[in-house]
Structure 1
């Protein structure tokens, strides 16, 4: 693998649980109107495969390939596909900087929350463009951590935001990728770039509880926690404090969080 950046979240069970809540409807709705039954799709950075599997239901006469750098998480993705009886799908390992596919292989090349974690997002988008058919679509969706919004405004959550930014940048990524996404696409050679924004909003009690519990664990056990302590951005005690603040946030009856992401649909 030629990727030089380090994936900030890692693949702790708490991270996979969080990513496993993503679906085509809540994470790729902007792409769905462009899909046609016969299309061949590549989903880069597929993780646990939940979005990938959903996309396969939109192309029943086509095929979807989920690609990830980490092979250890793909057996779970295959099991999920089998459980849903989705057969027009496969999962494989690969490097988005050097895709092992010929030019113009796919009708759609998609990635979700990936470009913020790579060292050269323009190079990855260029590779996505290369393997996309002329007339096809390259689509991406990326969050922007600096514009997350929440209530109540607990000081420890701003500290979490600061530490996350430090860890992500030290890992070689861009945590505010959303605001750069359309620029990266044009630098990668795309002339037609359609932009949009959508947001996850967690406000119902079960949603708040889930997000709170996820970050209580991620703050002290995930790769983020390791990066924070090893680089001296936060002590283990401070991370425990951040986990406690996420718990306090989750216990507030008025707790609410919005996580905006920029989206691009690029015509090859």
Structure 2
């Protein structure tokens, strides 16, 4: 891989193995001469590749017209010189102006296409970002916090640290951390504008102003590397179709010696009594349903392997069971009811499930609610917690 960095805060790289030329940072030259080395890198990449050259601008924060026209001229000239070569420009919805800026290039030459990266990377995001699902997430966090509050110090949480909460959702976890542990700084990032809007309202409701809520793509964060003592990412690896890519970003922004903390589920281990068989059948089917949409709600026990493969050391894994005995059983029932509405509703219909299947699928959720509210019943939802330290 060759790499150059003209001027500060801007980088241009070519990876021959993936046939990808990447631009990142802020590129605002006064003349094309200032970026001549980067232009040469692009030309060398074009000479070397066969088939498709990917141009990655997912981390391109700013680009002025001088730079845009200089790079585009090279690409258009290459299209005219080589009919065998295609260009795929990869943008991100987080940096929306890049999609708008580059989109018209396909009209100039059909050898150029533009893809919005994260529209493919999050195949299930429309389900988990359903605004009707947002309020129940607060109840879920209330139930898990009783356990995590005691667990977090074993995984690197302490007062005064610099912390990032990635895939922060509605921001309630960051609020609870701020109240109970008082980090010096919290950056909370999410890919859902609706969730972030709700998060800011939650923080305001608690009278907390010290959390930096940021819109961003967790798999391509516009955050500098090696800056956080603790990076948390809860219930999120399981809804990405490439959890290894997300973990790579968590690793990058974590300081050497800092820790990354993740929580995930194994939905097939949800349980209840009475009516255990119906409940077990439904949650086995939940796992299959999520798999259909390229999500893995069985990821919990796999966390150790994922962390090890990402390069972490001193990996700690533990689990806890959220139950109907953790406070008000109605809270547990409300969570299951929300799951039923989304999983046996929109998701099952989108998969094309029959009415007969959906009826049986719903019955398991309803039986789980029955177990939670039964005066002698027991209902459980297991969570796996894992963290790893980034080597010094």
TM over 0.5: yes
For residues 58 and 216 of structure 1, the distance between their equivalents in structure 2, rounded to whole angstroms, comes to 30
1:249 pairs, out of 355, 371, 377, with 371
Unaligned segments of structure 1, at least 5 residues: none
Equivalent in the alignment of 1:71: 193
Change in Cα spacing, 1:178 to 1:129, as seen in structure 2 (3 Å) is same
Aligned-partner Cα distance in 2 for 1:8–1:256: 32
Q: Which residue of the other structure, out of 256, 265, 282, is the alignment partner of 1:143?
A: 265
User: Aligned pair 1:186/2:297, yes or no?
Assistant: no
| Aligned residue in 1 for 2:319 | 197
Higher relative contact order (CA 8 A, sep 6+): 1
Matched residue of 2:134: which SS?
helix
Which residue does 1:134 correspond to in 2? Answer: 256
Deviates more, 1:115-124 or 1:181-190: 115-124
Distance 1:240 1:185, change over 3 A: closer
How many equivalent residue pairs? 266
Identify the residue that residue 352 of structure 2 maps to in structure 1.
232
**Structure 1 CA distance, aligned partners of 2:151 and 2:302?**
18
Q: 2:134 aligns with which of 11, 16, 28?
A: 16
Distance 1:170 1:42 in 2: 31
Greater helix share, 1 or 2?
A: 2
Question: How many Å apart are 1:237 and its aligned residue?
Answer: 4.0
Shift in alpha-carbon separation, 1:37–1:240, aligned structure 2, 3 A = closer
Q: With structure 1 as the length reference, what TM-score do the two structures score?
A: 0.88
The 3-state SS of whatever aligns with 2:347 is: helix
Give the aligned CA root-mean-square deviation in angstroms: 2.4
Q: Secondary structure at the match of 2:318?
A: strand
Alpha-carbon spacing, 1:10–1:151, altered in 2? closer, same or farther (3 Å)? same
Q: Larger radius of gyration, structure 1 or 2?
A: 2
Contact conserved, 2:322 with 2:381, CA < 8 A, in 1?
yes
Among 227, 230, 249, the alignment partner of 1:105 is 227
**Closer, same or farther: CA 224–96 of 1 in aligned 2, 3 Å:** farther
Aligned in 2, Cα 1:243/1:44: closer, same or farther, shift over 3 Å?
same
Is 1:210 equivalent to 2:327 in the alignment?
no
Q: 2: distance between equivalents of 1:6 and 1:110?
A: 21
SS in 2 for 1:189: coil
> Do the aligned partners of 2:237 and 2:264 also contact (CA within 8 Å) in 1?
yes
Once the two structures are overlaid, the 10-residue window that deviates more, 21-30 or 257-266, is 21-30
Query: Deviation per CA, 1:140-175, whole angstroms, max 9, x where unpaired?
Result: 111111222221134432332133112210111111
1:27-58, Cα deviation, whole Å (9 max, x unpaired): 45422342232211111121121111111234
Helix, strand or coil at the partner of 1:20: helix
Q: Does 1:26 align with 2:108?
A: no
Counterpart residue number, 1:45: 167
- 1:36 and 1:143 map into 2 onto residues whose CA distance is 25
> Quick one: distance in 1 between partners of 2:213 and 2:344?
26
Displacement after TM superposition at 1:5 (Å): 3.1
Shift of 1:212: 2.2
C-alpha distance 4-214 of structure 1, shift in aligned 2 (>3 A): closer
Distance 1:204 1:261, change over 3 A: closer
Judged with a 3 Å threshold, the aligned counterparts in structure 2 of structure 1 residues 240 and 223 are, in CA distance, closer, same or farther, namely closer
Distance 1:136 1:233 in 2: 45
Question: What SS is found at the alignment partner of 1:249?
Answer: helix
Corresponding residue to 2:211 among 89, 96, 120: 89
How far apart, in 1, do the equivalents of 2:229 and 2:327 lie? 40
The 4+ residue runs of structure 1 with deviation greater than 6 A are: none
**Which residue pairs with 1:5 in the alignment?**
123
